[in-house]
């Protein structure tokens, strides 16, 4: 409709002034009758000699003058001798220069492009073109045509043009045919197109409403979506079929038949588990079954404790200058004689102290021990507390990314196991089923494993309810620490966390030394107070600088969600200034000096050490950094000394982090935490969210909001149910059947 208001300009490309290969942004000159017009816009792969129909708007650039900003571009290949010659002699086809272009036109005339694409051997008729070079020219042209058709296809169906490069990388020259044959593959992890969009494309390409291709894609999507977004490892058969029925608007019986086909083909697994007819994606089924089997076996094995274990533990206590509480001593003893154990407890119950004792014991037993945690920040803290190196589980397993499958690959696995006699994992509540399966796969047969964590923290983002399932199965040897140590008990943060966990409201009037409640009833006064705390009160009165304060909210949206908080905090803490670069992305303007967060695991990102020569790959969900500079299209971010350059196509992975959701703060600790607690969807206003927020604070925790909201959160112990078969597999001893 809008297109009618746009100007239409048609002509031949005379010269391409600039072209960005990543996003296709192009500046070119177009011959329009006797005039030359400058056109700018997204036109990937456009070359001189091509004929373009451009619809767009005229703009005036301060330096370059009048330009047409292209919005819709239709391209057709050069026609007629003049256009074809122009095109070939421009260097658009690799292997053909000006002189060769002339000879090709003399020999084949208007058929030149058809010959090059379909029958390049004929090019050998031209003096100087060997059969090898002829084939290379044909190949280069076909490749260009392939990309070009792909781009046209994506444009026509309003799909992001960045997909062209990804699809070409995955399927080479036949990418377009592959997508046409099955548009649903665009939903896969490596392409990330919305299901509704892929479905719309499929229907537009003539796939029937009830075509098995569509039904199968719907079922597989429903499973993958629930694994990723809702943390389920399986779906009950009926739920899966009904939900897919709603998604696709087709009758359930039809989907039942289709599910049978998927099961027959091994693309889904069906098993009766935990009283359910559970349908799994095969990878998750195998991961869950493997964890149950491996941990089941490890739990059954008993090891000979070292001679004089008691004396050893006494010596460790003396060196640590503490006396273990009975539960702690029991934990260290258990670690000596069992191959796997769980160590759990709330804040201040001495988990870390105990973990250090176990590490020391393993050391004295001559065991090489690896320390690991699920996030970079948790690993850093663990390393500092233990005075030794700790890494993320991903790094321990030397995780890489396979661009062809879009999946993770672990260089450490059963064929190349970890060179460790023992592995200790902290913050295990954040570990999901696929990662635990990968870790277990990389352990030597007799390697010990100690899993430490707090089961009342929010569960992992990824599928499974791993840590809580392991504890509740009662199969894995477990020590639960319950005593809060005096030192920790002096902290109102620790006391309040335990109260909340028991469903009791902490005393909000006490305004103790490190736990404060500021009553605010409307969103604007919450925002004002949070800003004032960060900008003035905490830095001036408590000596805590703004960059050591983390603002949290249970929700993204609404008046006190992270979106609104980020707007006001950016304005207050990092206002615009002439020398600060800026770049808009969606509804956010990134500015040099902004605090930002990487919001996806990306194993492909290259970082280099600030001021140093070392570099490495990979940034992880939850990593927080500061924008150092914005120059042109490049945003440079410093993540604690690791410097990363973000190009425009990567900006979807970067979010402002003056305020983040409680879910995103999992596994991180901050000197001071401010929680905005006023409003949010009931599924977000839970006890687990409040508990996790409180336990993120080391020195100071402040709630800004409404007492009634806090009370509701304490009372709301609803845990979103996750379908998972791990507990049942362990408890039923189903792993023994495989022995
Ligand atoms: N046996 C003990 N005797 C005296 N103090 C202890 C003992 N064990 C732990 N503590 C002290 O209790 C406090 C909390 O211990 P620790 O940090 O190990 O707990 P945690 O469970 O890891 O807590 P968090 O989850 O909050 O990190 C620390 O100050 C520690 O020194």
Q: Could you read off the pLDDT of 586-603 as tens digits, one per residue?
A: 788 999 999 999 988 777
| Average pLDDT of the residues in 360-383 | 92
For atom 5 of ligand 1, the residue with the nearest CA is: 485
Which pLDDT does position 403 carry in this prediction?
65
Which ligand 1 atom is at minimum distance from the Cα of 356? 18
Shortest CA distance to 255 belongs to which of 274, 236, 233, 240? Answer: 240
For atom 26 of ligand 1, the residue with the nearest CA is: 347
User: 276 forms bridges with which residues in the sheet?
Assistant: 273
Residue with tokens 């304060």: 549
User: Is it the case that residue 162 has pLDDT exceeding 60?
Assistant: yes
For atom 9 of ligand 1, the residue with the nearest CA is: 350
User: Is it the case that residue 86 has pLDDT exceeding 90?
Assistant: no
Half-sphere exposure of 647 (CA within 13 A, CB side): 10
Which pLDDT does position 666 carry in this prediction?
85
| Average pLDDT of the residues in 166-173 | 81
Residue 42 is labelled as binding a ligand: no
User: Is it the case that residue 4 has pLDDT exceeding 80?
Assistant: no
Which ligand 1 atom is at minimum distance from the Cα of 488? 13
Name residues contacting ligand 1 (CB within 6 A). 322-325, 328, 345, 347-353, 485, 487-488
Which pLDDT does position 3 carry in this prediction?
44
In this structure, is the dihedral angle defined by the CA atoms of residues 458, 460, 463 and 464, taken in order, positive or negative? negative
> Which of 381-385, 475-479, 535-539, 731-735 is the least confident region?
731-735
> Which of 325-334, 542-551, 710-719 is the least confident region?
710-719
The fraction of the chain above a pLDDT of 90, given in percent, is: 61
DSSP 3-state percent helix, strand, coil across the chain (nearest 5): 45, 25, 30
CB 541 within 8 A of CB 638: no
Encode pLDDT of 403-433 as tens digits: 666 678 899 999 999 999 999 999 999 999 9
Distance 499 CA to ligand 1 centre (A): 18
| Average pLDDT of the residues in 229-254 | 93
Which residue did the predictor score with more confidence, 477 or 739? 477
Which pLDDT does position 2 carry in this prediction?
44
> Which of 193-197, 537-541, 674-678, 679-683 is the least confident region?
679-683
Which ligand 1 atom is at minimum distance from the Cα of 323? 1
Which ligand 1 atom is at minimum distance from the Cα of 481? 21
**CA atoms of 126 and 95, how far apart (whole Å):** 13
Which ligand 1 atom is at minimum distance from the Cα of 322? 3
Distance 360 CA to ligand 1 centre (A): 16
User: Is it the case that residue 52 has pLDDT exceeding 80?
Assistant: yes
Which ligand 1 atom is at minimum distance from the Cα of 695? 26
Which ligand 1 atom is at minimum distance from the Cα of 454? 25
Residue 562 is labelled as binding a ligand: no
Distance 671 CA to ligand 1 centre (A): 17
Q: Which of 327, 353, 382, 494 to mutate to test the pocket of ligand 1 (most atoms within 8 A of CB)?
A: 353
Distance 492 CA to ligand 1 centre (A): 15
Nearby residues of 501 by Cβ (< 8 Å), 6 or more positions away: 346, 456, 687, 691
Distance 488 CA to ligand 1 centre (A): 7
For atom 19 of ligand 1, the residue with the nearest CA is: 350
Q: Give me the torsion for CA of 357, 363, 369, 374, rounded to 10°.
A: 20
Which pLDDT does position 266 carry in this prediction?
95
Which ligand 1 atom is at minimum distance from the Cα of 324? 1
DSSP string, 221-249: HHHHHHHHHH--SEEEHHHHHHHHHHHHT
| Average pLDDT of the residues in 314-326 | 92
Please give the backbone phi and psi of residue 504, each rounded to the nearest 5 degrees, phi first: -110, 145
Residue 91 is labelled as binding a ligand: no
Encode pLDDT of 624-667 as tens digits: 999 999 987 789 999 988 899 998 878 888 999 999 999 999 88
DSSP string, 540-596: HHH---GGGEEEEES-SSSTTSHHHHHHHHHHHHS---TTS-EEEETTEEEETT-EE
Which ligand 1 atom is at minimum distance from the Cα of 485? 12
CA distances from 496 to 430, 493, 507, 526, 629 (A): 22, 5, 8, 22, 41
Report the mean per-residue pLDDT for the chain.
89
Half-sphere exposure of 36 (CA within 13 A, CB side): 8
| Average pLDDT of the residues in 720-726 | 87
Q: Return the structure tokens found at 432.
A: 């999901």
For atom 12 of ligand 1, the residue with the nearest CA is: 485
Distance 396 CA to ligand 1 centre (A): 27
Q: Which of 319, 342, 350 to mutate to test the pocket of ligand 1 (most atoms within 8 A of CB)?
A: 350
Q: Which of 485, 501, 691, 692 to mutate to test the pocket of ligand 1 (most atoms within 8 A of CB)?
A: 485
Residue 351 is labelled as binding a ligand: yes
User: Is it the case that residue 1 has pLDDT exceeding 50?
Assistant: no
Shortest CA distance to 244 belongs to which of 226, 269, 231? Answer: 226
For atom 6 of ligand 1, the residue with the nearest CA is: 485
**CA atoms of 206 and 100, how far apart (whole Å):** 43
User: Is it the case that residue 62 has pLDDT exceeding 80?
Assistant: no
Please give the backbone phi and psi of residue 196, each rounded to the nearest 5 degrees, phi first: -60, -35
Please give the backbone phi and psi of residue 586, each rounded to the nearest 5 degrees, phi first: 60, -130
Distance 365 CA to ligand 1 centre (A): 24
For atom 15 of ligand 1, the residue with the nearest CA is: 350
The fraction of the chain above a pLDDT of 70, given in percent, is: 97
Distance 349 CA to ligand 1 centre (A): 6
Distance 326 CA to ligand 1 centre (A): 14
Long-range contacts at 398-404 (CB < 8 A, ≥ 24 apart):
399/438, 399/603, 399/618, 400/603, 400/617, 401/602, 401/603, 401/604, 403/169, 403/170, 403/190, 403/604, 404/169, 404/170
**CA atoms of 459 and 464, how far apart (whole Å):** 8
> Which of 77-81, 200-204, 275-279 is the least confident region?
77-81
Residue 352 is labelled as binding a ligand: yes
Q: Which of 324, 344, 345, 488 to mutate to test the pocket of ligand 1 (most atoms within 8 A of CB)?
A: 488
User: Is it the case that residue 739 has pLDDT exceeding 50?
Assistant: no
């Amino acid at each position: 409709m809008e297109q009618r208001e746009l100007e239409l300009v048609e002509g031949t490309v005379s010269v391409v002034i600039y072209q960005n290969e990543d996003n296709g942004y192009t500046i070119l000159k177009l011959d329009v009758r006797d005039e030359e017009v400058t056109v700018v816009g997204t036109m990937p792969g456009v070359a001189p000699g091509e004929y373009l129909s451009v619809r767009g708007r005229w703009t005036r650039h301060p330096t370059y003058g009048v330009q047409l900003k292209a919005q819709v571009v239709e391209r057709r290949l050069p026609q007629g001798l003049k256009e074809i010659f122009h095109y070939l002699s421009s260097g658009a086809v690799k292997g053909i220069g000006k002189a060769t272009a002339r000879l090709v036109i003399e020999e084949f005339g208007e058929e030149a492009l058809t010959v090059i694409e379909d029958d390049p051997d004929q090019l050998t008729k031209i003096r100087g073109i060997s059969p090898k070079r002829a084939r290379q020219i044909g190949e280069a042209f076909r490749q260009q045509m392939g990309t070009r058709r792909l781009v046209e296809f994506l444009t026509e169906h309003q799909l992001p043009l960045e997909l062209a490069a990804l699809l070409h990388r995955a399927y080479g020259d036949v990418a377009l045919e592959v997508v046409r044959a099955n548009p649903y593959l665009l939903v896969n992890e490596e392409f990330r197109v919305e299901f509704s969009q892929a479905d719309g494309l499929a229907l537009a390409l003539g796939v029937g409403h009830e075509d098995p291709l569509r039904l199968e894609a719907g079922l597989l999507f429903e499973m993958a979506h629930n694994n990723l977004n809702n943390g389920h490892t399986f779906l009950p058969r009926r739920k899966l079929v009904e939900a897919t029925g709603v998604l696709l608007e087709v009758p359930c019986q039809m989907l039942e038949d289709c599910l049978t086909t998927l099961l027959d083909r091994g693309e889904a697994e069906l098993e009766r588990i935990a009283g359910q007819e559970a349908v799994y994606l095969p990878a998750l089924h195998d991961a869950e079954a493997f964890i149950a089997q491996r941990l089941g076996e490890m739990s059954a094995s008993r090891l000979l404790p070292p001679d004089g274990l008691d004396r050893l533990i006494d010596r460790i206590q003396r060196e640590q200058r503490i006396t273990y509480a009975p539960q702690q001593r029991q934990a260290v003893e258990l670690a000596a004689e069992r191959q796997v154990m769980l160590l759990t407890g709330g804040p201040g119950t001495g988990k870390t102290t105990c973990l250090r004792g176990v590490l020391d014991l393993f050391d004295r037993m001559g065991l090489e021990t690896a320390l690991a945690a699920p996030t970079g920040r948790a690993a850093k803290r663990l390393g500092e507390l233990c005075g030794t190196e700790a890494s993320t589980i991903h790094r321990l397993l030397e995780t890489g990314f396979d661009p062809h499958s879009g999946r993770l690959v672990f260089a450490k696995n059963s064929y190349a196991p970890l060179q460790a006699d023992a592995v200790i994992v902290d913050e295990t509540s954040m570990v999901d089923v696929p990662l635990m399966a990968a870790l277990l796969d990389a352990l030597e047969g007799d390697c010990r494993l100690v899993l430490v964590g707090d089961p009342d923290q929010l569960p992992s983002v990824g599928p499974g309810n791993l840590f809580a399932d392991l504890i509740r199965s009662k199969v894995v040897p477990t020590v639960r620490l319950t005593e809060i140590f005096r030192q920790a008990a002096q902290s109102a943060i620790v006391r309040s966390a335990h109260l909340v966990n028991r469903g009791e409201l902490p005393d909000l009037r006490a305004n103790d030394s490190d736990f404060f409640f500021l009553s605010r009833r409307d969103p604007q006064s919450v925002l004002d107070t949070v800003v004032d705390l960060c900008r003035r009160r905490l830095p001036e009165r408590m000596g805590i600088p703004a960059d050591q304060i983390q603002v949290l909210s249970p929700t993204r949206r609404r008046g006190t969600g992270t979106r609104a908080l980020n707007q006001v905090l950016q304005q207050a803490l990092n206002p615009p200034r002439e020398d600060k670069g800026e770049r808009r992305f969606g509804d956010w303007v990134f500015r040099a000096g902004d605090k930002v967060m990487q919001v996806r695991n990306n194993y492909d990102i290259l970082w280099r050490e600030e001021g140093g020569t070392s570099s490495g790959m990979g940034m992880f969900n939850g990593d927080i950094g500061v924008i150092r500079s914005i120059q042109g299209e490049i945003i440079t971010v410093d993540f604690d000394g690791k410097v990363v350059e973000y190009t425009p196509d990567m900006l979807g992975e970067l979010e402002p982090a003056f305020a983040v959701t409680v879910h995103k703060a999992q596994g991180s600790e901050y000197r001071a935490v401010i929680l905005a607690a006023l409003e949010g969807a009931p599924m977000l206003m839970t006890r687990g969210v409040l508990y996790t927020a409180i336990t993120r604070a080391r020195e100071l925790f402040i709630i800004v909001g409404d007492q009634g909201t806090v009370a509701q959160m304490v009372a709301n112990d609803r845990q979103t149910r996750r379908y998972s078969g791990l507990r049942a597999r362990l408890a039923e001893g189903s792993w023994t059947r495989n022995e």
